[in-house]
A and B are shown apart, each in its own frame.
Chain A
Amino acid sequence: MSTQATPPSGQRFSAQAENLGKHRDKNHSKTFTIVMNVLGALLIIGTYIFTVIYGAGANDMTQASLPLMSGYLVGALLLLAGNVSRIPLSALALIPFAAAFNIVLGQIIGFSGIPLYLDSIATILVGYLAGPAAGVLTGVVTNLAWGLTVNPTTIPFAAGAAVIGLLAGYAGRAGLFKKIWTAVLAGFGTGIVAGFIGAPIAAFVYGGGQGFGTGSLVAAFQATGQSLLAATTFQSLLSDPLDKAVAFLLVWLIAAAIPQRVKNQFLTRR
């Protein structure tokens, strides 16, 4: 329990005095975090390479669904386990609401017919404000919670969402959200990475049929003689960079409107 004195009623806690989640009871070693993150990243990368090699020669791609999903989900869960003990409790308390914003907005955009996803805005914002670890957690938790409450088709993309949160966190650390064009470029780059990671899932698990627009594009690419994996990769590289560039631009706009007091709270602990 907290060892700090309770401030008088109505008084806000100062960011400098904040020591929530600094692990007074148990010391999570930095080595544990690094090992879990490296293992998680290697598993995701290894799974991607396996599916690309397998997908080049296979006709029936359902054979690879289980190894692909296992590799990506276990990778995402390792990233989750590695980072969950690293962030302050205040950031931990923020993540469920950030995930809820992603879910509600993503679902509204999905129904609206707008050819974008915009389901990672809160992930990018949390990554920018609270750092890469919080971004990773928000990404994974968004997709798990979305899948278990509204739409199960989002669960397999948890690894991609983790990478988006991670890259948004590093973009924030590198100061890429200071200027509009660097934010958009960072979003574009993040979208390319996310597109590559998501393409095998779109091919092996969903057969490219995640929506009318994207499904039509995949069918068109396949009709030109491309393999299903190549078709979903081309489709992802068309839509993801644009979507993430718009999402990073929106986060840049939101960040400009966030009170400096809030930013300072995060800056002391990022």
Chain B
Amino acid sequence: MHPRTWVVLSLCALVLALMPLSLAARVVLLLAQLTLLVAAGRLRGFLLFVGVGLGPVALMAFLVQAVSFSGQTVLASWQPFAFMTFAVTVEGMTYGAHLALQILNFGTACSLLTLLTTTAGLRYALNSWKVPSRLVFLLVASLNAPAQLIRYIRIEQEAARARGLDDSSWLARLKGNLKIASTLFTLILLDHQVRGRALDYRGIELAGQRVFVRDYPDSGLQRVLRWALPLCCLLVVLLHFGVFRGWF
């Protein structure tokens, strides 16, 4: 699909993820997003996303509410101190499940954007919407920067090994990595003017539409989808907040 379609789809999913939906609706939304990821062949990348950040936070949110929410239907309780009562309640577990699904839906919507769109695609989409080029650079370069930084660190580590520096123990490796980090940071600070000059030569400040070497195929259906999805989302939000109450 066209990068603009993925961005719109992801933003709509983000809005829906944060809506106060029923448990069943949240499950359906999660399944719909997962289906998109599976269809695009990015389930493995998503599972990594879940393992690193989403999963533990969702689980913890459920557990915190399951044991400390002040519900009515108490299943078990524990009072370590007179002023502190932990109670597992049905209401707490329900609220915890809502929060856990909200977190998973929110993270999955973000992963739709990052796993299904490349940074080049994101740059294309943002430029075509006439987002200021400085802002586009900032966002896209920041998405690329961690991988670039890790690559520099690996090169430095390899060079340190080639020079025969000790990396036999974790303490030696920690010391070596601290040195590498401080060297890289100083170099980046020293070279920031040169990189700024490079951006200037590339015409970042010039006005006008950018022309990209790679174009992405678009279709009438996708164009309709890019308008219909945000409108549907807006409608759902307005309906929920009672804007149309009394109209029908």
Contact = CB atoms under 8 A, between A and B. Distances in A.
Nearest to A80: B135
B143 A149 contact: yes
Interface in A192-229: 205-212, 215, 218-220, 222-225
B90 interface: no
A148 B14 CA distance: 13
B150, B190, B206: which has the most chain A beta carbons within 10 Å?
B190
Interface in A223-270: 223-225, 231, 254, 257-259, 261-262, 265
A15 B190 CA distance: 11
Main secondary structure on B side of the interface with A: helix
Interface in A134-157: 137, 141-142, 144-145, 147-155
A207 B65 contact: yes
B146 interface: yes
A37 interface: no
Interface string B127-170: 00000101101110111111111100000000000000000000
B194 A13 contact: yes
A187 B60 CA distance: 29
A96 interface: yes
A65 interface: yes
A103 B145 CA distance: 10
Interface in B202-240: 203-207, 237
B230 to A, nearest CB: 14
B99 A262 contact: no
A47 interface: no
A207 B52 CA distance: 18
A236 to B, nearest CB: 14
Main secondary structure on A side of the interface with B: helix
A66 interface: yes
Given A20-B193, A209-B64, A92 B207 contact: no
A157 to B, nearest CB: 12
Given A223-B68, A258-B186, A145 B145 contact: yes
B83 interface: yes
B99 A207 contact: yes
Interface stretch (A22-30, A49-57, A162-170, A175-183): A22-30
A60 B97 CA distance: 12
A100 B143 CA distance: 8
Interface in B44-66: 49, 52-54, 56-65
A259 B188 CA distance: 12
Given A13-B193, A153-B107, A62 B98 contact: yes
Contacts of B194: 12-13
Given A20-B196, A26-B207, A147-B110, 20 more contacts: A1-B200, A13-B194, A21-B200, A26-B205, A62-B99, A66-B20, A85-B134, A89-B199, A90-B193, A97-B188, A101-B185, A152-B53, A152-B106, A207-B61, A207-B62, A207-B96, A209-B57, A209-B58, A211-B57, A222-B69
Interface of B: 15, 18-20, 49, 52-54, 56-65, 67-70, 83-87, 95-96, 98-100, 102-103, 106-107, 110-111, 113-114, 132, 134-135, 137-139, 141-150, 181-182, 185-186, 188-190, 192-201, 203-207, 237
